[in-house]
Structure 1
């Protein structure tokens, strides 16, 4: 996997600001759920395309080259997502893509029925579903997640799954609990009773942690935010199934009927998607002997998941002679300690030290993490636990066990 020091060093060398902040100096980055580190190739590509004045759709060499770059990026993303049909759409943000897909599904689905989601969801999908369920005259039903484990399962959905479910939303991974859900199982349960339901998935938190396989999910829409998947801010990406794309949606009069994009898009944004796919292709080649590009991407996903699992286990149970977070006095773990759904994220609170103080003291020690409050972003998770806030510690595959050890040493001081 990534146990080789040489490979991990090579991985870290591909990311900008991996161990230092341009404003604060040397630091450990455990705020990946708020936005992952950026590939150096993405930085170079962004600068390159920012300088190009030409637009797509003109009769000149530069314009034709831009069109080819965009086409390649779409094909690369389809390969990464394992999405043989449908289309790749670039928009303003991942949240905006969720709103557009959910809006189109709610306004275009057969009359009547209900919209189904869960209390685990980020407000990006939950708010969109609530708004457009109301506008389309449908009830919006939320399946309760399990507060103890921080997940929602197909079994939890089952009591609310009926033949009149027109639109359903699923969160792939929670940015507060860090737990992933079985999208394929939930979608299959919905399809069994409502085969024509439009199913939209929020994959924004999950994307950086590997293993996206849309062909196996049986869904109609999937959204990611590239800045959380090693690219940059300023755009979002959605995958839209052919049946969802064919519903009535906003587009220019007289233009292509299936077009979902507006205006002249940033070619550099598309090109940076190819940078991400190229990186995962490279990593898959380092951790496997696969020659097929999709299989190398799958191998990279397995290696990412395994490495992050090892790091979170060290974070929870300790490394060397350092106690893990689960062993420190007065510290509580959101979602429980031994949770198989965890993807590179541990959220905690202390019975004796305020979350804001923990974040401040970690920051002073050169460790970047974040406080989550029971607000419109995280209240759905924290309020049922009786918590006003928690500390979110989120990692990615370029983090090291040495960085985890430094975190544990400082946390031991804070909680002593």
Structure 2
């Protein structure tokens, strides 16, 4: 695990920009990774390189040919990351925009046949609202599966209870950006296909992708969407994998059956995604994996998950001489302390302080966190719990136990324990 080897964790941290300090405020601990993870230095360098190139794709010159090869490599690297057998990889404006496009196309394929679309109440509006609007536009019924408020999860049994053979499209959130809990996508997809085997299944992987394993073949899904800025890349694009079946669905294009990507793509977007995949492969190899590129990625994902589990356990139960959040007065942990679904994120409330006040108090102590409000984005999770907000403390594998200890010291001061 990363935290057990000081040389490795320092090597990891050295590959990211602004690990220990903000370019505007100076030294700080970054526990706001769910809002956008730290950026690989290689991504920043690659972005600058391709932003300066004047040539376009599809031209008769060596520069253009190189751009086309970079795009092809980016797509191949993405398929390796997703463990996709075939299908298409596309980039779009954002992960949200791609979830809307994929869901709209999947529903449009059934516009004349009727049926249902199934989602869960745990989902971010990026997929939940996309499903609702696409269902209405295609004359399909939208079904919402209720998540479990106490654990902050939704499981295959909940989907199974709502399934009927006429479900045409399903959306699944791989991890909640509010609770930080991960879902068993393969089990949920299995429950769906047990009743409706031809259902088109689209996964919102935006929160999950930086924290663990992604395998669309094992999961048996048709679409998987990520926002690269949340997985060590940059803002400005989203990326999706589509199965051959989903790729063939009716979609916006300049001609019928034409490419999903509209207009000239940013070559740099594909290049920086390759940088991310390169990083996963490097980490897996450094950890001792000698297999192929996919095997190295899987080794990295396993180590990332294990390290982040250690960090969240330390935050909840204490480290060194610091009490954990579970022992501090007035602290309530969303999803409970003992929750194996948690992925590098702890959401909490503190009696006597609003989430916004707590964020400000921690900021004054050099710790960057974020407040979630019971609004359009998070009210589906917070309102049933009777909360108008919560503090979200989100970690990634480059964070350290020492940073967790500093956070706990600040929380101890704020609770007065």
Please indicate the TM-score interval, normalised by the length of the shorter structure: over 0.9
Residues in 1 aligned to 2:165 and 2:9: alpha-carbon distance in whole angstroms:
49
The answer to whether the 8 A contact 2:289-2:295 is kept is no
1:128 is matched with which residue: 127, 130, 140? 130
Residues in 1 aligned to 2:125 and 2:289: alpha-carbon distance in whole angstroms:
41
* Aligned: 1:51 with 2:52: yes
Q: Which residue of 2 aligns with 1:365?
A: 365
Report the Cα offset of residue 291 of structure 1. 3.0
SS at match of 2:151: coil
2:165 is matched with which residue: 163, 166, 172? 163
SS at match of 1:207: coil
> After superposition, where does 1:9-408 map in structure 2 within 5 Å?
9-109=10-110, 111-253=113-255, 257-408=257-408
SS at match of 2:188: helix
Report the Cα offset of residue 288 of structure 1. 2.1
Residues in 2 aligned to 1:228 and 1:111: alpha-carbon distance in whole angstroms:
37
Residues in 1 aligned to 2:415 and 2:359: alpha-carbon distance in whole angstroms:
12
Report the Cα offset of residue 374 of structure 1. 0.1
The answer to whether the 8 A contact 2:289-2:299 is kept is no
Residues in 2 aligned to 1:287 and 1:139: alpha-carbon distance in whole angstroms:
48
Report the Cα offset of residue 196 of structure 1. 1.1
Residues in 1 aligned to 2:406 and 2:228: alpha-carbon distance in whole angstroms:
29
The answer to whether the 8 A contact 2:149-2:385 is kept is yes
SS at match of 1:371: strand
Residues in 1 aligned to 2:14 and 2:98: alpha-carbon distance in whole angstroms:
32
Residues in 2 aligned to 1:185 and 1:135: alpha-carbon distance in whole angstroms:
29
* Cα offsets for 1:116-173 (capped at 9, x unmatched): 0000000000010111111111211110000000000001111111101011000000
* Cα offsets for 1:9-42 (capped at 9, x unmatched): 0000000000100001000000000000000000
Indicate the larger mover: 283-292 or 44-53.
283-292
Residues in 1 aligned to 2:265 and 2:294: alpha-carbon distance in whole angstroms:
27
Q: Which residue of 2 aligns with 1:8?
A: 9
Residues in 2 aligned to 1:353 and 1:413: alpha-carbon distance in whole angstroms:
13
The answer to whether the 8 A contact 2:58-2:64 is kept is yes
SS at match of 2:356: helix
Residues in 2 aligned to 1:213 and 1:187: alpha-carbon distance in whole angstroms:
13
* Cα offsets for 1:76-124 (capped at 9, x unmatched): 1100110011110110000000000000011112611111000000000
The answer to whether the 8 A contact 1:107-1:136 is kept is yes
The alignment's TM-score, normalised by the length of structure 1, stands at 0.98
SS at match of 1:169: strand
Report the Cα offset of residue 258 of structure 1. 4.8
Report the Cα offset of residue 352 of structure 1. 2.0
The alignment's TM-score, normalised by the length of structure 2, stands at 0.98
SS at match of 1:249: coil
SS at match of 1:387: coil
Report the Cα offset of residue 355 of structure 1. 1.5
SS at match of 1:208: coil
The answer to whether the 8 A contact 1:353-1:415 is kept is no
* Cα offsets for 1:389-408 (capped at 9, x unmatched): 00000000000000000000
The answer to whether the 8 A contact 2:347-2:393 is kept is yes
The answer to whether the 8 A contact 1:104-1:247 is kept is yes
Residues in 2 aligned to 1:132 and 1:291: alpha-carbon distance in whole angstroms:
42
SS at match of 1:64: helix
Residues in 2 aligned to 1:359 and 1:121: alpha-carbon distance in whole angstroms:
24
